[in-house]
Homo-oligomer: A and B are copies of this chain.
Amino acid sequence: MSPTATLLISCSNQSGLVAKIANFIYANGGNIIHADQHTDFTAGLFLTRIEWQLDGFNLPREFITPAFRAIAQPLQANWQLHFSNTVPRLAIWVSKQDHCLFDLIWRQKAKEFNAEISLIISNHPDLRVVAEQFGIDFHHLPMTKENKSTQEAQQLELLQHYKIDLVVLAKYMQIVSTEFITNFPKIINIHHSFLPAFIGASPYHQAYERGVKIIGATAHYVTPELDAGPIIEQDVARVSHRDDVAVFIREGKDLERLVLARAVRLHLENRVLVYGNRTVVFE
């Protein structure tokens, strides 16, 4: 299987965009294997994802960026270029619960997504044993109100040291500061509710109190406003009066595993494009 290049592009809607981008690939002999576009007429935005095989593409890899910049600049487009054989590096942040961590590790081993899990950070020591079981570096950084900014500085240093591309909050249960997000904005969180219902702590208890008949989970990019970042994926499960909070939590774990894993995979396959506070997911 040939490695591929993927362009994710957004720009103000104008005619000829598809033609210009397709011509660029075609003119250089590229074989497109996925192309999808979306126009948000309310926002006046054109968004596209285009993926082509590098084998047979006449432009050497290092010239693609300058060549496409010449096309993108007059369009005032935002764009990213990714190569499928550059393996992204993940840091997974956890607290005490292991279900999302185990699930991500299993999927990575099963090659459901293409990434290296380079680092696990936790504010508790409990999951060190899992990290060791799978030979992944583990750093225990306990968090208190007092030490938060020094610990976040430490976290940031670790991300740099390990050359991390994406942080996955796999039930990290801590609020990440605005300052941290500004420094490292590529963070996906799993929230254990169907957002925007039940923002904040103990969403399953809140859901039980409200007497809902359906519970949910939401994977989103982290932004300074709590649980309000762009949603990547959501899913739900039916509950009944027979189900108490413990059942909500048990069923919720399955949702969290699935929803977080899908969001991480979609991100790693460069299928997610953020604009404003929303996402386009090119499936």
Residues of A within 8 A of B (CB): 15-19, 22-23, 25-27, 29-42, 98-99, 102, 106, 110, 112, 133, 194-198, 210-214, 216, 230-236, 238, 240-242, 244, 250, 253-254, 258, 276-281, 283
Q: Decide if A39 touches B30 in the complex (CB within 8 Å).
A: no
| Bound complex: CA A277 to CA B102 (Å) | 37
Number of copies: 4
Residue of B at shortest CB range from A207? B196
Please tell me which one of the listed residues B195, B211, B232, B233 contacts residue A277 in the complex, with CB atoms under 8 A apart: B211
Chain A at the B interface: mostly helix, strand, loop or mixed? mixed
Q: Decide if A31 touches B15 in the complex (CB within 8 Å).
A: yes
Contacts of A216 in B (CB 8 A): 194, 214
Further 6 A-B residue pairs, CB within 8 A, beyond A19-B23, A38-B242, A196-B198: A18-B22, A18-B35, A19-B22, A196-B197, A214-B235, A238-B238
Q: Decide if B39 touches A36 in the complex (CB within 8 Å).
A: no
Q: Decide if B211 touches A236 in the complex (CB within 8 Å).
A: no
| Bound complex: CA A254 to CA B262 (Å) | 11
| Bound complex: CA A140 to CA B89 (Å) | 37
| Bound complex: CA A19 to CA B28 (Å) | 12
Q: Decide if B19 touches A241 in the complex (CB within 8 Å).
A: no
A261 to chain B, nearest CB (A): 8
Please tell me which one of the listed residues B15, B30, B38, B236 contacts residue A30 in the complex, with CB atoms under 8 A apart: B15
Q: Decide if B194 touches A211 in the complex (CB within 8 Å).
A: no
| Bound complex: CA A195 to CA B198 (Å) | 10
Contacts of A198 in B (CB 8 A): 196
